[in-house]
Chains A and B, each alone.
Chain A
Amino acid sequence: QSVLTQPPSASGTPGQRVTISCSGSNSNIGSNPLYWYQQLPGAAPKLLIYRNNQRPSGVPDRFFGSKSGTSASLAINGLRSEDEADYYCAAWDDRLSGVVFGGGTKLTVL
């Protein structure tokens, strides 16, 4: 049981817009920045979005992060086959004094 809640799966066709949600509480998302990681099969996680909505250099602007209260979302516009991966949200939790991850969402491009 993960502290942050994500849907286990999501899907879309090429060109579509897909959103992945991440729900938490006041001690994590509600008071600290939210991060998104992308993990391609067999690879290490890659930072996709930091501090709620910032993209590291090299991440396409098709990826968009947002946060409101104790929830956050990752939107992927113009879905591409190479976006098929697992996506994780993460945040610092003040109550646990540690990092918490969502359970991950497996994105399938149909």
Chain B
Amino acid sequence: QVQLVQSGAAVKKPGASVKVSCKASGYTFTGYYIHWVRQAPGQGLEWMGWINPNSGTTNHAQKFQGRVTMTWDTSISTAYMDLSRLRYDDTAVYYCARGLTVSATLFPECHYWGQGTLVSVSS
């Protein structure tokens, strides 16, 4: 069965970086987009970006320009989201989600989600 298992919670200081991992299983990792979505406490869902593990392309929301890096390691079917220069308002649960096949579109059709990773930014 398809599973996305994310790394554990992290506590970081302002200005630091955090790297969240998302290990996929049960399907061909390079065949599907991975989206990253975050949710601040008590707030709604916010899309951060996507990766295409097959072509090597990524894109992210303008809001995160210069601060987010999305990478992956096909040998271990794992995607990573690195957020730098953390601020207090980056405190959120970060989710990875499997999108459509890489031969399809980037529509937000995510049937499978990771369990979420809480990143707390605190001094």
- Which A residues lie at the B interface, using CB under 8 A? 2, 32-33, 35, 37, 39, 44-47, 50-51, 56, 86, 88, 90-92, 96-104
Which residue from chain B places its CB closest to the CB of A99 in the assembled complex? B47
Q: How large is the interface on B (under 10, 10 to 19, 20 to 34, 35 or more residues)?
A: 20 to 34
- Which B residues lie at the A interface, using CB under 8 A? 35, 37, 44-47, 49-50, 59-62, 95, 97, 105-111, 113-116
CB distance from A34 to the nearest CB of B (A): 10
Whether the pair B107, A44 counts as a contact (CB closer than 8 A) is: no
A101 to B60, CA, bound (A): 15
Consensus secondary structure, chain A interface: strand
A67 to B1, CA, bound (A): 32
A12 to B108, CA, bound (A): 28
CB contacts (< 8 Å) of A102 on chain B: these are 44
CB contacts (< 8 Å) of B113 on chain A: these are 44-46
A86 to B42, CA, bound (A): 11
